[in-house]
Chains A and B, each alone.
Chain A
Amino acid sequence: MPFLLRLIPLAVLVTVSASLTAQNIGFDEVAPRPSGSSPGFVEMHQPLSATAEQVFGQAQPKLLQIRTLLKSAQKQSSIGSGFIASKDGLAITNYHVVSQYALEPDTYQLEYIAADGSKGALRLYAIDVTNDLAVVKLDAGEGGGFDAFAFNPAAINGALAKGERLFAMGNPLDLGFTIVEGIYNGLVEKSYQPRVHFTGALNPGMSGGPAVTANNQIAGVNVAKMIRGDLVSFLVPAHAAYAILNRAKNGDEMDASDVRAEITRQLNDWQKTFFATLRAQNFRQAAFGPYRAPESDADWFNCWASTNSNDRPKPRTTINRSSCDTNTHLFLADDMYAGNARLSHTYLKTEELNAMQFSEALSRSALPNLPWSTANRYTPFRCYENFMAATADTPDRLTLRVIWCARAYRDIPEIYDISVSAVTQDHSKEALVSTFSITGTSFENGISFTRDLLSMLEVKHVLD
Chain B
Amino acid sequence: MFWIEVLSRQKEIIQRHHAAADFVTIGRAYDNGVIVDDPYVAPAHVRICRDESGAMVAEDLATQNGLLDEKGKRHHRISLTGNQLIRIGHTWLRVRDANFKVADERPLQPQRRLWPGLMAMLILLPGFFMLNLWLRNTGDYSITLYLGQFVSLATGIAIWIGFWSLLTRLLTGAACFTLHAIIALTGIFALQIISFTQDWLVFAFSSNFIAQYSFPLFWFLFALICFAHMCVISSKNTYRKAAIVFSLAACASMAQWFMDNPLIPEDSGAKRPYLTRMYPPSWRVIAPETELEFFAEAEKLKAQLDELRKKEPRRGMFDNFLNDFNDGEMAHR
A104 at the interface (CB under 8 A from B): no
Most buried by B among A77, A359, A426: A359
How far does the Cβ of A149 sit from chain B's closest Cβ, in whole Å?
A: 20
Query: Which stretch, A27-35, A259-267, A283-291, A367-375, touches the partner chain B?
Result: A367-375
Are A208 and B333 in contact, CB atoms less than 8 angstroms apart?
A: yes
Contact A373/B332 with A379-B308, A382-B301, A451-B295 known, Cβ cut-off 8 Å:
no
How far does the Cβ of B55 sit from chain A's closest Cβ, in whole Å?
A: 77
Interface residues on chain B, size class:
35 or more
Query: Which stretch, B14-22, B100-108, B221-229, B276-284, touches the partner chain A?
Result: B276-284
Q: Find chain B residues with CB under 8 A from A379 CB.
A: 266-267, 305, 308-309
Residue of A nearest to B316 (CB): A375
Interface residues on chain A, size class:
35 or more
Are B267 and A401 in contact, CB atoms less than 8 angstroms apart?
A: no
Measured CA separation A32–B64 after assembly (Å): 108
Mark out the residues of chain B between 124 and 147 whose CB falls within 8 Å of any chain A CB in the assembled complex.
Answer: 134-140
Measured CA separation A4–B282 after assembly (Å): 42
Contact pick for A79, options B271, B308, B330, CB 8 Å: B330
Contact pick for B308, options A16, A382, A450, CB 8 Å: A382
Measured CA separation A391–B279 after assembly (Å): 23
B220 at the interface (CB under 8 A from A): no
Are B332 and A368 in contact, CB atoms less than 8 angstroms apart?
A: no
Are B331 and A443 in contact, CB atoms less than 8 angstroms apart?
A: no
Are B295 and A375 in contact, CB atoms less than 8 angstroms apart?
A: no
Measured CA separation A43–B268 after assembly (Å): 63
Interface of A is mostly: mixed
Mark out the residues of chain B between 279 and 333 whose CB falls within 8 Å of any chain A CB in the assembled complex.
Answer: 279-282, 284, 287-291, 294-295, 297-302, 304-306, 308-309, 313-316, 319, 322, 326, 328-333
Measured CA separation A204–B333 after assembly (Å): 5
Q: Find chain B residues with CB under 8 A from A135 CB.
A: none
Are B301 and A406 in contact, CB atoms less than 8 angstroms apart?
A: yes
Are A373 and B267 in contact, CB atoms less than 8 angstroms apart?
A: yes
Q: Find chain A residues with CB under 8 A from B271 CB.
A: 380-383
Q: Find chain A residues with CB under 8 A from B276 CB.
A: 363, 366-367, 403
Q: Find chain A residues with CB under 8 A from B308 CB.
A: 379-380, 382, 408
Are B288 and A363 in contact, CB atoms less than 8 angstroms apart?
A: no
How far does the Cβ of B229 sit from chain A's closest Cβ, in whole Å?
A: 34
Contact A401/B139 with A375-B265, A384-B297, A447-B295 known, Cβ cut-off 8 Å:
no
Residue of B nearest to A75 (CB): B330
Are A357 and B332 in contact, CB atoms less than 8 angstroms apart?
A: no
A427 at the interface (CB under 8 A from B): yes
Q: Find chain A residues with CB under 8 A from B314 CB.
A: 375
Are A451 and B291 in contact, CB atoms less than 8 angstroms apart?
A: yes
Q: Mark A379-410, 1 if CB is under 8 A from B, else 0.
A: 11111111111010000000111111111111
Contact pick for A388, options B290, B305, B328, B332, CB 8 Å: B290
Q: Find chain A residues with CB under 8 A from B304 CB.
A: 382
Most buried by A among B302, B308, B326, B333: B333
Q: Find chain B residues with CB under 8 A from A15 CB.
A: 328, 331-333
Q: Find chain A residues with CB under 8 A from B279 CB.
A: 356, 359
Among all A-B residue pairs, the 6 with the closest Cβ atoms:
A15-B331, A204-B332, A80-B333, A387-B288, A375-B313, A389-B288
Q: Enumerate 26 A-B pairs (CB-CB under 8 Å) in ascending A order.
A: A15-B328, A15-B333, A80-B333, A172-B332, A205-B332, A316-B139, A316-B140, A357-B137, A360-B136, A366-B276, A374-B322, A375-B265, A376-B313, A379-B309, A384-B301, A389-B290, A401-B275, A402-B294, A406-B305, A408-B308, A410-B309, A416-B305, A427-B281, A428-B280, A451-B295, A454-B291
Known A96-B333, A387-B206, A388-B294; 10 more pairs at CB < 8 Å = A18-B330, A174-B330, A313-B140, A358-B280, A370-B273, A381-B269, A382-B304, A383-B301, A403-B275, A447-B298
Chain A residues with CB under 8 Å of chain B are 12, 14-19, 21, 76-80, 94, 96-97, 172-174, 203-205, 207-208, 313, 316-317, 335, 353-364, 366-368, 370, 372-376, 379-389, 391, 399-410, 413, 416, 423, 425-428, 443, 447, 450-451, 454-455
